[in-house]
């Protein structure tokens, strides 16, 4: 995959990270982001998790939740 691919996928999260009709849809978006990050990091050792989350529009609290999910998944993979 290329940087262009990663940016395109990150843009798909904007409906989940922005308020739509006063409702923030974050639960499934954060879990999906965590799974994508694990895949992207396996695919590309230079993948930048921080840039991806920034491009996707996640806030700090969401980034922390995603990092916790990734740490938990990493423990399962060992």
Q: What CA–CA distance (Å, rounded) separates 20 from 29?
A: 14
Check if the beta carbon of residue 32 is closer than 8 Å to that of residue 69: no
pLDDT in the model for residue 53: 94
pLDDT in the model for residue 24: 57
Query: What is the total count of domains within the chain?
Result: 1
Confidence of residue 60 (pLDDT cuts 50, 70, 90): very high
Q: What is the span of the domain harbouring residue 36?
A: 3-77
pTM over 0.75: no
Element (H, E) at 16: helix 14-17
- Degrees, nearest 5: CA angle 56-57-62: 100
């Amino acid at each position: 995959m290329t940087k262009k691919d990663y940016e395109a996928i990150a843009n798909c999260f904007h409906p989940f990270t922005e308020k739509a009709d006063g409702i923030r849809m974050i639960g499934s978006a954060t879990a999906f982001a965590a799974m994508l990050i694990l895949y992207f990091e396996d695919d590309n050792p230079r993948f930048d998790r921080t840039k991806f989350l920034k491009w996707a529009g996640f806030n700090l609290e969401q980034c922390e939740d995603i990092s916790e999910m990734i740490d938990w998944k990493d423990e399962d993979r060992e």
